[in-house]
Chain A
């Protein structure tokens, strides 16, 4: 999924040099050799060096990353799959980019992600507690449609909570850096001051008269001008003048989003954009529904029936060999879902990884790249 091929289409001397380099290093790429001297070099993935780690609080950091030349830029509000090596294994998780984008990023340019500890020992926790300047990370192409329309509306209402602040920070920052002539009302809900991330940057943005930023604390005593309270279905109508007339961008925990969307359904008269930080539901029990992303079919797979058999029963003919887990011919990407290894009995959550479908069974809903 994160495979990017270096462009061969460039004309002129650079194009010829690239083709000669490729021919001399075949079946590898020149970057595989250059990586001996500069680990940022790669022909197949965006690698990024951590140039600084700024501590936002004891629970969050902002990482400034310098990507290699394969990085193609992002739009404000998008997220990126960030890969980090933990105990030798590449693990990936989605993070919103908090910096305002530059298209294209100038050579040596940087971008930032702000990461909050989740306390489950995963990628977020690793980045908050162990990531150091000089470390190498990987980035997959940025994705997400939580972005401003080409012509931004004149009246914007941002409603965020917790780490939902990061994509909106990127949107607001890039908006204010442009010749935007409208107004932005941004309401951010946070438990307490010590939980607030990106506070320095918020203080700078706040000086811009086009932005009306209101911090609402749910579990702390508010200081100069900040509010206290909790979001309910009336809060926006009661506290923001003509709230219903604004185009809404909202991001935060699931319950929070549900409240904003319920309010918008009844009151809103302008579009709403939202970004949900998903946690895949853990499905108990065995067997499950298999969706074949490429052929478009769907099938029920019983417990103990391999995904390969399930696909074959559904009339597909996946590539396979030994049917016993040794030859890896049947490897197939799982878009999303939980699978059980039929040999070890172990079950795990997948998101874009490849598995041998001859020895894995569905454990809940599974999407296969078949």
Chain B
């Protein structure tokens, strides 16, 4: 090897009219690394108190909600009980479960909040979620053909996905996916299309299905059988409350998650583009493939801080309560490099998601971009 400094500095990243050279991408990566190091070194008792407070609030609301639903024959009790149970299910899945399983709280050393043992109140088993989400989605974010969150195997979210006539109906079945989101998340892990293509063995498929069905039985047994039975004559109100709470949680999590990667300016990538990707390039892809939502403190907590989707994708294992603090610094760095920091209110961002779903229901006009 030549020990002399190589002065040739090629352009290694080009998107949205911004071209960055190898050394620029490297410097960018180091700046993002430094942000991470600064926050991670500062974690302490305050953060521990925060997450324990959220867990206590969630468990308390769940107990209160389920208790009130036993009196669900009285309309105000039913409404309050359903609302409390919905909020607790959202908090558990989003601010607690999702983030704990990302190992954001492993540093506490608390087995109750440890990524390797935590399981969430959702039909998708924790272990499968950690593979499809933490590994596949976070490593290959918005890489068509790799990141199965791009359309969950049933929707066309990028021009790079080949069109077929079934997609004509996606503006309608989008809402079905939204309503049954936890089921979509659980069963998309089965990767039926890979089984059909012979890329996955039937034995592996059957083992996964067995684990999903076990979790499904536990979840359904709790919400739709045991709690209603326990309520005796008030079973219908308890059942209706639990169904509603799960539906509300499904719709809300769908809304937040689709706004995270499928807004108007969220970029998609091809498998060829990520070959030999450096850490700096990976950061750039996370930044340009994600979009943020603006709102108040409660809104951020209720979204599991996925309203800071960009920060979450840059730092998936940073405790979520710190995203708010790091966000302005990420924005400053992005803007300094001329990169688009995609952020907006929920209504505006979701409007552009629907626009994308409608546009891609039809074949793409741009020729030659469809993936082979």
Contacts and interface: CB of A to CB of B under 8 A. Distances in A.
27 contacts: A3-B117, A23-B226, A25-B222, A27-B119, A27-B120, A27-B126, A27-B218, A32-B112, A33-B62, A36-B56, A36-B60, A44-B111, A85-B108, A88-B43, A88-B44, A88-B108, A89-B108, A90-B108, A91-B109, A92-B109, A324-B139, A328-B103, A328-B317, A329-B131, A329-B135, A331-B103, A331-B106
B249 interface: no
* 6 A-B pairs closest in CB distance: A90-B109, A88-B48, A321-B135, A27-B119, A328-B103, A88-B45
A91 B106 CA distance: 13
Contact of A83 (B109, B134, B139, B317): B109
A326 interface: yes
A338 B185 CA distance: 39
Interface string A20-59: 1001111110001101100000101100000000000000
Interface residues of B, number: 48
A353 B116 CA distance: 12
Contacts of A44: 111-112, 117
A13 interface: no
Interface in A59-109: 83, 85, 87-92
Which of the listed residues A42, A85, A88 has the most CB atoms from chain B within 10 Å of its own CB? Answer: A88
Contacts of B56: 36
Given A24-B222, A89-B109, A91-B109, A321 B134 contact: yes
Interface in B81-129: 102-103, 106-112, 115-117, 119-121, 126
A124 to B, nearest CB: 17
Contact of A327 (B48, B139, B221): B139
B222 A26 contact: yes
A354 interface: yes
Contacts of B117: 3, 44
Contacts of A322: 135, 138-139
A328 B139 CA distance: 11
B134 A329 contact: yes
A343 B37 CA distance: 10
B221 A45 contact: no
Nearest to A91: B109
Nearest to B282: A324
Nearest to A320: B135
Contacts of B135: 321-322, 327, 329
Given A26-B222, A322-B135, A329-B135, A33 B63 contact: yes
Q: Is the interface of A mostly helix, strand, loop or mixed?
A: loop
A88 B46 contact: yes
B322 interface: no
Nearest to B37: A344
Contacts of B108: 85, 88-90
B115 A331 contact: yes
A159 to B, nearest CB: 36
A32 B56 CA distance: 9
B110 to A, nearest CB: 6
B106 A3 contact: no
Contacts of B194: none
B30 to A, nearest CB: 12
A87 B44 contact: yes
A179 B273 CA distance: 79
B130 interface: yes
Which of the listed residues B120, B135, B227, B230 has the most CB atoms from chain A within 10 Å of its own CB? Answer: B135
A25 B62 CA distance: 10
A156 B45 CA distance: 48
Interface string A314-328: 000000011010111
Contact of B134 (A89, A324, A328, A354): A328
Contact of B279 (A23, A32, A324): A324
Interface string A333-370: 00000000001100000000110000000000000000
B321 interface: no
Nearest to B92: A28
B121 A27 contact: yes
Contacts of A344: 37
Given A3-B111, A23-B218, A36 B59 contact: yes
A332 to B, nearest CB: 10
B352 interface: no
Contacts of A321: 131, 134-135, 139
Contacts of B47: 88
A2 interface: yes
Nearest to B125: A27
Interface string B129-150: 0110011001100000000000
B48 A85 contact: yes
A328 B134 CA distance: 8
Contacts of A92: 109
B363 interface: no
Contacts of B102: 328
B130 A328 contact: yes
B219 interface: yes
B109 A36 contact: no
Contacts of A90: 108-110
Given A88-B47, A88-B108, A354-B116, A32 B59 contact: yes
A35 B52 CA distance: 11
B111 A328 contact: no
Contacts of A3: 111, 117
B136 to A, nearest CB: 8
A159 B257 CA distance: 65
Contacts of A89: 44, 48, 107-109
Given A88-B108, A344-B37, A329 B45 contact: no
Contact of B115 (A33, A326, A328, A353): A328
Interface string A289-310: 0000000000000000000000
A333 B20 CA distance: 40
Nearest to A42: B112
A211 to B, nearest CB: 41
Contacts of A20: 226
A2 B279 contact: no
Contacts of B134: 321, 326-329
B316 interface: yes
A111 B66 CA distance: 39
Contacts of B218: 23, 26-27
A3 B117 CA distance: 10
